[in-house]
Structure 1
Amino acid sequence: MSATIKDVARLAGVSVATVSRVLNDLPGYSEETRVKVLDAVAELKYQPNAIARGLVNKRTQTIGVLFPSVSSAFSSEILHGIEEAAQERGYSVVVCNTAEDGKRTMKYLQVLREKQVDGIIFSSGVLKEEYDQTLRAMEVPVVLVSTKSEYADIPYVKVDDHQAAYDACAYLIRQGHRRIAMISGPAHDEIAGEPRIAGFRAALADHGLPAGEAPVLDGRFHFAGGCKAAEQLLRQSPEVTAVFAAGDEMAIAVISTAARLGIAVPEQLSVIGYDNLKLAEMCYPPLTTVAQPLAEMGRLAAAKLMARIETGQPEGSEIMPHQIIGRGTVSTRE
């Protein structure tokens, strides 16, 4: 049976309140008493309960993170940055998989409320009104990562999706491509769908190409959806010489589908992705892509959240830099 704080107090010959003050580094005891308490803690192998400790300092040193797909390479890279920053500051991380449609979000918000987390990082989804109301009722700070919201008091950390997509399309144009298609996310997705489609079309228009005629197919931001969209595109639009895929999994799906159809990448078809996941270096040819600094985004979001937890001061939003990483899937057209 695990030792309790009462056991520690009894062995040290002090009150429970004194043990609590020592463990939480509060004043009101002598150096001799502090040594007695710490010796008792070591002898009993006492592990302070985070919730009980929170009753004293009003914090549990725990943050919650909500992802729509915890197992995805995208989420894991952001989470890596979050956990690194949290561990450095003595915080634990509770990760919740809300599912792609967010159907478990309300359930997990209740779980995080019961665990008395000090703050929440919300990632890669729309912060719906019902979520916002629940979060405000919890009275804990919130930071968004790879998403944004209409609520000005909730800071976010993300890249400029419109500009990043614009730059990806412009890169293909500079390589001499004129017949360019896009495998996108859902057009109704206001976070990563619509802005990337708009950026792609803006680049075409600004370079004198017919933006309205360029094929745009929904690949649902995953490999299976990308394969389906790529097959439809390559069979129906054989004149296309380059594809911008708004996610690396979809870009790899284009490469895979092209190989199955006997289309050589990049000799016959150039492909550029988006995210710069580790998968981008593992496929063949290695994928040219727009890099988001995912781990750094996670680290910064966690740092902003912990600063707000500890100071109570508001934190500003931040647009992170993106860059194009040239590898082996884009060729130059004369």
Structure 2
Amino acid sequence: MGPTIKDVAKKANVSTATVSRILNDLPGYSKETKEKVMKVIEELGYQPNAVARGLVSKRTQTIGVLFPDVSSMFSSEILNGIEDTAHELGSSVIVCNTDRDGKRTMKYLQLLQEKRVDGVIFTSEVLTEEYYETLMDMQVPVVLVSTASYRYPLPYVKVDDKHAAYTATEYLIQNGHTQIAMISGRKEDPIAGAPRVEGYKQALSDYGIPIHEESIVYTDGFGFQQGQESFPRIAEKLPEVTAVFAASDEMAVGAMSAAYQLGIQIPDQLSIIGYDNLKIAEMSIPPLTTVAQPLYQMGEVAAKLLNEMLRTGSSVESRIMPHHIVERCTVKRMK
């Protein structure tokens, strides 16, 4: 049998109630006492019983995280930030891969409710009325990441997608490009579809460049395949195009692959800029210039906000995270 809370209290020369308050982050002890107790816990290798702690604090020390595609590089960066921070704050993470399927999402929400998670981080999907009502029934704090809702008052952590897309398009313009195409996600996607198209159009408009709807290729996702399939359509219909803004790095690399197959050299004959700054951007040949989202930090901030809501019982302010251009080797300066 392992060490008990009584063993910790005896060795630290405090009461079991004090040890319990420290473990459950409740007040009533000095900083020195906490340090002494935590040192004894480490020395003895004491593992608090999660169920017993939950009875006292009404918390299970677990949070649920929902991703539409947990295997993507985009999701993994955010998840790393969430997990590292949650573990530092004493919580474990239950990860749910929804596959953008409404029934699966509802099933996972019900599972998280049964597991009595302390809070939920909802990532990269549209927050439907059904999801929102279920989350409210759970009566736990919720933070949105890489998505937001005007209809439902939940705090979010995200980049300003319209502004970031504007920045990417403006970068191409400032490098002398005026014939710029865009590879987008779904036209009706209010998260990463429409706002990024709006940013692209706004930049063209502000610099007096005509906007042509045929210069935008809409797809059903943000993956390598969508970029690979979209670029040949641009090359065929718009041979005068000198630059492409892709709404994700995976799309951009897919477009680069298609360009290579068509004998088009990057950046000498075509410039490409991506969006996200995933690891694949550094690994591509040539390395991809992109507009960066601080994905790890977004996960980190979301976990901290959720913890603050749990600790204080009050709401928190949403966070718009900074974005910036990462210059590599896929954008040529026009003379």
TM-score normalised by length of structure 1: 0.87
1:202 Cα deviation (Å)?
A: 1.1
Task: Decide whether aligned partners of structure 1 residues 235 and 103 sit closer, same or farther in structure 2, where only a CA change above 3 A counts.
Answer: farther
Aligned 1:11-50 pairs, distance under 5 A? 22-23=19-20, 25=22, 47-50=47-50
Q: Partner of 2:69: helix, strand, or coil?
A: coil
Q: Contact 1:64 / 1:120 at 8 angstroms: preserved in 2?
A: yes
Aligned 1:87-166 pairs, distance under 5 A? 87-151=87-151, 153-166=153-166
Q: Partner of 1:104: helix, strand, or coil?
A: helix
Tell me the equivalent position of 1:82: 82
- Deviation sequence 1:265-314 (CA, Å, 0-9, x none): 00000000000001100001000000000101110011000000111011
2:275 partner letter = Y
Separation of aligned partners in 1, 2:262 and 2:27: 73
Separation of aligned partners in 2, 1:302 and 1:22: 25
Separation of aligned partners in 2, 1:292 and 1:27: 38
Q: Contact 1:201 / 1:212 at 8 angstroms: preserved in 2?
A: no
Separation of aligned partners in 2, 1:258 and 1:193: 23
Q: Contact 1:202 / 1:211 at 8 angstroms: preserved in 2?
A: no
- Deviation sequence 1:60-86 (CA, Å, 0-9, x none): 111111100001000000011111111
Q: Contact 2:169 / 2:204 at 8 angstroms: preserved in 1?
A: yes
Separation of aligned partners in 2, 1:284 and 1:123: 30
1:276 partner letter = N
Q: Where in structure 1 are there 5+ consecutive unaligned residues?
A: 13-17
Tell me the equivalent position of 1:175: 175
Tell me the equivalent position of 1:15: none
Name which of structure 1's ranges 172-181 and 208-217 shifts more when overlaid on structure 2. Answer: 208-217
Task: Decide whether aligned partners of structure 1 residues 239 and 267 sit closer, same or farther in structure 2, where only a CA change above 3 A counts.
Answer: same
Tell me the equivalent position of 1:187: 187
Q: Contact 2:21 / 2:27 at 8 angstroms: preserved in 1?
A: no
2:134 partner letter = T
Aligned 1:221-300 pairs, distance under 5 A? 221-300=222-301
Q: Contact 2:143 / 2:155 at 8 angstroms: preserved in 1?
A: yes
1:87 partner letter = H
Tell me the equivalent position of 1:201: 201
Separation of aligned partners in 2, 1:4 and 1:202: 63
TM-score normalised by length of structure 2: 0.87
The reply to whether residue 54 of structure 1 matches residue 35 of structure 2 is no
1:244 Cα deviation (Å)?
A: 0.1
Q: Partner of 2:302: helix, strand, or coil?
A: helix
Tell me the equivalent position of 2:12: none
Separation of aligned partners in 1, 2:113 and 2:48: 20
Separation of aligned partners in 1, 2:103 and 2:301: 27
- Deviation sequence 1:5-30 (CA, Å, 0-9, x none): 9xx99xx9xxxxx97885554899xx
Task: Decide whether aligned partners of structure 1 residues 27 and 194 sit closer, same or farther in structure 2, where only a CA change above 3 A counts.
Answer: closer
- Deviation sequence 1:80-132 (CA, Å, 0-9, x none): 11111111111111111011344411010011111111000000001111111
Separation of aligned partners in 2, 1:120 and 1:213: 39
2:125 partner letter = G
1:278 partner letter = K
Alpha-carbon RMSD across the aligned residues, in angstroms, is 2.7
Q: Partner of 2:212: helix, strand, or coil?
A: helix
- Deviation sequence 1:139-167 (CA, Å, 0-9, x none): 00000011001245310010110011111
Task: Decide whether aligned partners of structure 1 residues 114 and 173 sit closer, same or farther in structure 2, where only a CA change above 3 A counts.
Answer: same
Task: Decide whether aligned partners of structure 1 residues 173 and 214 sit closer, same or farther in structure 2, where only a CA change above 3 A counts.
Answer: farther
Separation of aligned partners in 2, 1:128 and 1:20: 44
Aligned residues: 317
2:128 partner letter = K
Task: Decide whether aligned partners of structure 1 residues 129 and 272 sit closer, same or farther in structure 2, where only a CA change above 3 A counts.
Answer: same
Tell me the equivalent position of 1:302: 303
Q: Contact 1:183 / 1:229 at 8 angstroms: preserved in 2?
A: yes
1:184 partner letter = S
Q: Contact 2:229 / 2:255 at 8 angstroms: preserved in 1?
A: no
